[in-house]
A and B are shown apart, each in its own frame.
Chain A
Amino acid sequence: MSTLETEPRSRGLGERIRSDPEPATVWAGACLLLLSVQFGAVFQTVRALFPGGAVGSYVPAFVGAPVAAAGEFVGSLPTLLTRDVIPNQGYRLPGQGWQETFLGLEPAVAWLVRVALIYVYSLAWLALLWWGYRIFRSEYRAADWTPMDDKVARFRSHYWGISGVVVVFFFVVMAVFAPAMGPTTVERNIQEPFSYEVSYFDEEAGSVATETVGTANFESGSSGTPEENVGPLSYDDYGRFHPIGTLPKGNDMFTFMAAGARISLSIALLSIGISVLIGVGLAVFTAYYKGLSDLVAVIASDSVQAIPQLLLLILLASLLRGTWLGSLYNGAAVLTIIFAATNWPYLWRAIRGPALQIAENEWIDASRSFGQRPRRIMQKHMVPYVTGYMLIYASLSIGGIIISVAGLSYLGLGISAPTPEWGRAVRMGQDYVTTASWHISLIPGVMIVLLVTAFNAFGDGVRDALDPQAETEEDAEIATAGGSGA
């Protein structure tokens, strides 16, 4: 009782931090330090999120000009992990080694240094977040122990789940740092190759010559025969390094895949986020009120589930091709909406049982009799118990979304053409699978398998961590994990 008096439960986190600010300040300082080296990139990304031109044309000039100026300024801020700081493109002069690359290193090594730095930087963030959680746990949390601690501990010893996290982390970093990750950029190499130039050492002329990227690409495509092939870990005739080879038209495949990871993961994570919100909201609502609301939700979810998801995607993607909605974010917006609108029934179904069980508990009755409002009861006493289950099923259905997005772009639908998407790489390389250019189709598929397996492993880990004795609801799990059959 005495502890309750000295440390009343009503004291908020903010107050606890104010009373002992030191660990939090140190931690926040470390965060700022880590953020500062990438300041420019963060702002660039935020700015790029708004569709190009849309902001400029609708905002009056007196607002627009300062915004643009601020953008210019932010763009000039130093950023550690860019290709400007660690360039990997250059040419080799005979006897003098590589020019214009980072420290005169070979392009492959320069690129590797940049990628390694990016991963080190991201790992530093991961460590920082973990450290922050530990500080919160030891210094600022009111309770010494919560059931959550056991779950975290169980997950930490679940090696299959951990390996899933590692692979997911690998891909997420690749997606987040996509522009800095590739040996070249999407704009330079894929979208407008004829507006950029590449310098190389022309052996016949014996001097440094320049060529447009488009022409250079034309010469370095991978189209089956050993002579016309730039495989993984090799250079093309222009001294450009290709970590996983080139596409049939000569575009760098790693750049393509990194940008594709960005699109796939944003669609998957965003749409599953929306589905989770709908699913959790509906689950606690129907579990609390039961009766008619539950019946309506059953019918609604059954109806959505009765429409074959992949067919609906194909239909909408082809119907909306060319309309403003269809071209928003290169078609990603429509896909996100459709996935969000069609995936919630699976998630809701999966946690309907647990939610109903929770609604039966005495504490729900108790808080009702105290006069607590239904909204608060649902938020405070029901949602925390179903979010764990949600995490399991969400991570299991992410795989289905990633596969479906790739399947659609394989069919030429969904993400519009020059924008990189994994499925399109499979399509481009499908005639070369058994030839020297096997990498074009094979690598995207292997990457999808890796990523999907990793998400499944993560889901397994979370499930075992939440409730080691749980008889898993394999039906629901498989219904969610099965995806749409792409």
Chain B
Amino acid sequence: MSRLKYLGKRLLLSIPVVLFGTSITFVLLRMGPIDPAAAILGGQQTQGGNYEQVRQQLGLHRPLWEQYIDFMVDLFTLKLGQSWVIAQGTPVSELLAQYAPRTLWLGFWSVIVALVIGIPLGFYAGLNPNSWSDYFASFGGIVWRAMPNFWLAVIMVSLISQSQKFGFDWQNWVVSTQVVTPPSLNNLTDPMEFLAALKMVLPAALVLGSASMGNEMRIGRTAVLETKNANYVEVAKAKGAPGRLIVWKHVFRNALIPLIPIISGEAFLLIGGSVLVETVFAINGLGYLFFQAAVNGDLPLVGSLMFVFIVLLVSVNILQDVLYTLVDPRVGYEGEGQ
């Protein structure tokens, strides 16, 4: 099977997945024990003109299957509707444009931070196996991975907002910033603004990337250990290639292969984990928006956001599979292929 055909098959398979996932969302929202109109009006109000009006506008008086078709058609034609409670009347697309940049900024840096810290540590541990520094790094990685993000975030916020107590002034370090405020992303071309935005998001990114960092470290270590004893490395050594060249050209490059799914798999963690981390650090991004919408009963907004997340995750999954086949052509297109 050619690569193009594989891609086609992957895309075809993703259609029922998105359909099914969105249908589950519909079932939860419309067929669950909660009346969307009552949720919007807050509490148990199930009578009165107001209630009837909301029902009319949401189309709740029509048969369920008609609602279902409407729901699906609207979402798949990207008519995402509007918010009812959080920002009454604001189109969801506008809310997305407003909230998404902060989450993307956070997500981007959490991937980068995890990579920059996790992989070198893992490679270092792999190059010095069974030394004390290896044990320290490996054990640290295991524990670091087991830490709940929200707890880590709480501890981090307290420590850096009280950092003067420990003889270090985080708030005024390099650029003056506050800890529990959303970063301003209006003026990223200005170096000072850029630094400020980066500094504000850095602790949150470190927390959000913590699980991936542990994974990357572990994979990096195993990969180096495996490739270090590979025949081609032996050959390079026998040829008298300098150690640095062996590490960079032969060990490093091949060790990168298993890291791809980890990095792309981070998307899952980021979307879920952003809710808690954004809540603790008061970064009002998509996760925070979703949480507020769910808690305040803004069901139309919740439905649209869920659809966006599902499409996002499915695309990341496809991207990951394609990347995988590009980097490692041996990865099967058939049979075991997912």
List residues of A whose CB falls within 8 A of some B CB. 298-300, 302-312, 314-316, 318-320, 323, 325, 349, 353, 356, 399, 403, 406-407, 410-411, 413, 423, 426, 430-431, 433-434, 441-442, 444-445, 448-449, 452-453, 456, 474-475, 478-479, 481-486
Contact = CB atoms under 8 A, between A and B. Distances in A.
Nearest to A303: B20
B145 to A, nearest CB: 8
Contacts of A430: 154, 157-158
A324 B38 CA distance: 17
B210 to A, nearest CB: 10
A319 B32 contact: yes
B291 A445 contact: no
B233 interface: no
A353 to B, nearest CB: 7
B101 interface: no
A304 B208 CA distance: 23
Interface string B207-224: 010010001001100100
Contacts of B219: 474, 478
Given A315-B306, A426-B150, A433-B154, A449 B143 contact: yes
A307 B26 CA distance: 12
Contacts of A475: 258, 261
B262 A478 contact: yes
Contact of A310 (B34, B272, B313): B272
Nearest to B223: A474
B74 to A, nearest CB: 19
A319 B294 contact: yes
Given A314-B290, A479-B265, A484 B273 contact: yes
Interface of B: 13-14, 16-18, 20-21, 24-25, 28, 32-34, 39, 142-143, 145-152, 154-155, 157-159, 162, 165, 208, 211, 215, 218-219, 222, 258, 261-262, 265, 268-276, 279, 290-291, 294-295, 297, 302, 306, 309-310, 313-314, 317, 336, 338
A434 B271 contact: no
Contacts of A349: 338
Residue of B150, B155, B290 with most chain A CB atoms under a 10 A cut-off: B150
A299 B151 contact: no
B291 A314 contact: yes
A431 B152 CA distance: 14
B17 A306 contact: yes
Contacts of B338: 298, 349
23 contacts: A298-B338, A303-B18, A303-B24, A306-B313, A314-B290, A315-B294, A315-B306, A320-B32, A356-B336, A410-B150, A433-B162, A444-B151, A445-B147, A445-B152, A445-B155, A448-B146, A474-B218, A475-B258, A478-B215, A482-B265, A482-B268, A485-B274, A486-B149
A347 to B, nearest CB: 15
B151 A353 contact: no
Given A482-B211, A486-B149, A441 B272 contact: no
B42 to A, nearest CB: 12
A316 B295 CA distance: 10
A75 to B, nearest CB: 36
B17 A407 contact: no
B100 to A, nearest CB: 15
A255 B275 CA distance: 30
B interface majority secondary structure: helix
B165 A478 contact: no
**10 nearest CB pairs, A to B:** A485-B273, A433-B158, A310-B272, A303-B20, A485-B269, A445-B151, A485-B272, A452-B146, A434-B162, A302-B17
Given A407-B149, A486-B276, A300 B32 contact: no
B196 to A, nearest CB: 24
Contact of B17 (A299, A433, A445, A448): A299
Contacts of A478: 215, 219, 261-262, 265
B160 to A, nearest CB: 10
A309 B276 contact: no
Contacts of A433: 154-155, 158-159, 162
Given A426-B154, A484-B273, A485-B211, A456 B146 contact: yes
Given A308-B272, A486-B273, A448 B310 contact: no
A452 B151 CA distance: 14
A306 B17 CA distance: 8
B269 A482 contact: yes
B28 A319 contact: yes
A306 B142 CA distance: 27
Given A306-B313, A316-B28, A474-B219, A453 B268 contact: no
A307 B314 contact: no
A320 B32 CA distance: 9
Contacts of A431: 158
Given A303-B24, A316-B28, A325-B33, A311 B290 contact: yes
Given A299-B20, A434-B162, 14 more contacts: A306-B21, A307-B25, A307-B309, A309-B272, A311-B275, A311-B309, A318-B295, A319-B34, A403-B149, A406-B150, A433-B158, A444-B151, A445-B152, A474-B219
A453 B162 CA distance: 29
A353 B294 CA distance: 37
Nearest to A455: B146
A308 B313 contact: yes
A456 to B, nearest CB: 6
Given A315-B306, A482-B211, A303 B16 contact: yes
A270 B162 CA distance: 41
A475 B159 CA distance: 34
A434 B151 contact: no
B84 to A, nearest CB: 15
A407 B155 contact: no
B266 to A, nearest CB: 9
A399 B143 CA distance: 12
A442 B158 CA distance: 11
Nearest to A315: B294
Nearest to B280: A430
B162 A411 contact: no
Contacts of B145: 456, 481
A303 B95 CA distance: 26
A453 B146 contact: yes
B219 to A, nearest CB: 6
Contacts of A356: 336
Contacts of A316: 28
